[in-house]
Amino acid sequence: MSATYSELRAQLASLTTEAFRPELAEIDQLPTAEIAALMNAEDQTVPAAVAAQLPAIAAAIDATAARMARGGRLIYAGAGTAGRLGVLDASECPPTFNTDPSEVLGLIAGGPTAMVKAVEGAEDSKDLAARDLDTLHITAEDTVVGISASGRTPYAIGAVEHARAKGALTIGLSGNPDSALAAAADHGIEVVTGPELLTGSTRLKAGTAQKLVLNMISTITMIRLGKTYGNLMVDVRASNDKLQARSRRIVALATGAPDEQIESALAAADGEVKTAILMILADIDAKAADQRLKNSQGHLRAALRKGETPDAD
């Protein structure tokens, strides 16, 4: 048995997420309904753990939005479940907020193959994280979020350390207190959900917590960037029939206009929901609406105030 292996065992034994729960040692003997009830009860503890970190989450979001407003990118980096959740959150931003695919990115240790198949040893390399980030040419305006349930994953820590050395904003999202990942980052977010139902299976409560926090980071950042009007997704990209129907409904909710006017505005705006809303509410044509939105950095409320500069992010 190598010293490295012994050290890793000791590290895992000290982590809350890896703790063994003897009261669940006979869980495989329980009826399915009882196991489901246990899992449901476990999941109900996650929101409270996230709530305890809201000040840290909000501070990280404000810092991220400020950099993205200046043209920076949001980049997630993780291994295994954590990496997959980052890739998932990034991939949902273009259809939801009409972001360019290069604006919000997800890196997973081992590359795209690791989304569906474990890549042996990838998570153990800080150098791999640095190389992956170097392909993106990290700048000081970017934000890099390292994600790791344990808070000790070398790939996530390496990503944060490398990004910080480049001057980028860094966030460390961990499921354990006093983690190396949080310590390495400008903003540490440690959502402690406790031992898992299945010992060490951090795709459960820890993964749920990570998903909730990533939802907050991307969604609230996009709200701050003017990607919404109230709680309406006015930058939605109508790439399929469902989203086209949603686009029309959003314009209707924002304006109260009749269907004929909505169809006309969307046609003139090439399907851009935000432009169509501004055309209707301000009674201007598509060209004028586009110019107002450009002058207001894409913030619809500011554009409705005739191009007034939006509140600072």
Q: Which residues are catalytic?
A: 92, 123
Distances (CA, A) of 76 to 81, 88, 147, 169: 12, 10, 7, 12
CA distance 275 to 250: 12
Beta bridge partners of 147: 78, 173
Sequential DSSP letters for 244-300: HHHHHHHHHHHH---HHHHHHHHHHTTT-HHHHHHHHHHT--HHHHHHHHHHTTT-H
Distances (CA, A) of 8 to 124, 150, 178: 11, 12, 17
**Rounded to a whole number, what is the distance in angstroms from the first to the last CA of the chain?**
53
Q: Are 292 and 284 in contact (CB under 8 A)?
A: yes
CA distance 188 to 207: 17
Place of tokens 């795709």: 203
Helix/strand/coil for 72: coil
Closest to 278 in 3D by CA, of 218, 232, 225, 220: 232
